[in-house]
Amino acid sequence: MNKVEISGVNTAKLPLLTPEEKTTLMKKIKQGDEKARQEFINGNLRLVLSIIRRFWGRGENVDDLFQVGCVGLIKAIDNFDLSQNVQFSTYAVPMIVGEIRRYLRDNNAVRVSRSVRDLAYKALGVKEKISTEQQRDASIEEIAKELNVTKEEVIMSLDAIQEPVSLQEPAYSENTENIYLIDQIGDKKNTDEMWTQNLAIAEAMKKLNEKEKMIINKRFFEGRTQVEVAEEIGISQAQVSRLERLAIGHIRRNFK
C-alpha cells in the first residue's frame, strides 16, 4: 500500500496539470494528438491513485487496481465532451470507480449467473448514463423501463452483484494502527445468544420463496410501509399483507 512504485509508475513524482493545461490538452486530444493524450493520462494518474485508496484492504493487488483504474481513466478521456461544461474529474471519477467495481465483481469468489450479471451491468450502465447526463440518481423504474425488464429483475440483479464486505476490513487507518469494521459494530445487544438467534432467523428466511424474501427484506430491514412495498413491486397492499403474514408464519415454524 505504501510503496512508491505501482505498475512501474513512480507515484511520488506524478505530474499535476492545471485546469488550463487540461483544457488545452483535451482540445488537442479531440484533434487526434496522441502526444497530448499521453500527457493528459500522465497528468491524471494522481486521480486514479486517490480513487484506488478507497479499495485497499480487500486483499486485491494494488498494481491490478491501479491498472484497472487507468482503463477507466482512458475510457473517460475518450468519451469526455468538452461542450458539456463539466470538469473532467467530475466526469472521470464515476467511470474509474465503475471500472474498478466491475473488476472486483468479476473476480468475486461468490459466483453469479452470467444472465443476472449481464443485466446488473446494463442497469449500472443506465444509472451511470443518467448520473453523468442529468446529474441525478436514476430510479429503479427508469432503469427497468430503459432495459424493458421488471423492477424486480433489476433489484434482484443489483443485489446479486453486491460485493460482500469482510468484518476484518479496516474502517480507518492511522500510521500502522487499524480500526476494523468489527470494532465498530459491537453493542450490548450483540450477545452470543442474539447472534445465534439471528443466524437461525437467516437460515429460516432461506426457505422462503423469492417474493416472500423481498417483502420481508423491504418491510423489516429497509423499513418500508406495506403501501410503499405494494407500489414498488406492483401488487395490492392486501396482497403484501397476506404474503407478509405467510412469510412470518413460515419463519416462526422453521425457527422453532
Q: Is the pLDDT of residue 131 over 80?
A: yes
Q: Is the pLDDT of residue 182 over 90?
A: no
| Nearest-angstrom CA–CA distance, 110 and 112 | 7
Q: Is the pLDDT of residue 28 over 90?
A: yes
Q: Are 99 and 69 in contact (CB under 8 A)?
A: yes
Run of H or E residues at 178 = strand 177-180
Run of H or E residues at 10 = strand 9-10
Q: Which CATH number fits domain 186-255: 1.10.8.60, 3.30.530.20, 3.40.50.300, 1.10.10.10?
A: 1.10.10.10
Reported confidence tier of residue 39, pLDDT bands at 50, 70, 90: very high
Reported confidence tier of residue 40, pLDDT bands at 50, 70, 90: very high
pLDDT digits (tens, 9 = 90+) for 198-209: 555 666 677 788
Least confident of 72-76, 177-181, 218-222: 177-181
Burial label for 113, CB within 10 Å (0-12, 13-18, 19+), is exposed
Task: Locate CATH 1.20.120.1810 in the chain.
Answer: 5-160
Q: Quick one: cell of 254?
A: 422453521
Top-tier CATH class for 5-160 = mainly alpha
| Nearest-angstrom CA–CA distance, 51 and 44 | 11
DSSP states of 224-242: --HHHHHHHHTS-HHHHHH
Q: Is the pLDDT of residue 189 over 80?
A: no
Query: Chain-centre distance of CA 94, in angstroms?
Result: 10
The confidence score (pLDDT) of residue 24 equals: 92
| Nearest-angstrom CA–CA distance, 188 and 198 | 15
Run of H or E residues at 51 = helix 45-52
Work out whether strand 170-174 and strand 177-180 pair parallel, antiparallel, or are unpaired.
Answer: antiparallel
Q: Can you name the residues that pair with 5 across neighbouring β-strands?
A: 10
Can you say whether residue 64 is alpha, beta or left, with left for phi > 0 and alpha for psi between -120 and 50 degrees? alpha
Task: Locate CATH 1.10.10.10 in the chain.
Answer: 186-255
| Nearest-angstrom CA–CA distance, 124 and 154 | 10
For the stretch 4-8, contacts whose Cβ atoms lie closer than 8 Å and that sit 24 or more positions apart, written own/partner, are: 6/49, 6/62, 6/63, 6/66, 7/63, 7/66, 7/67, 7/70
Strand, coil or helix: what is 137?
coil
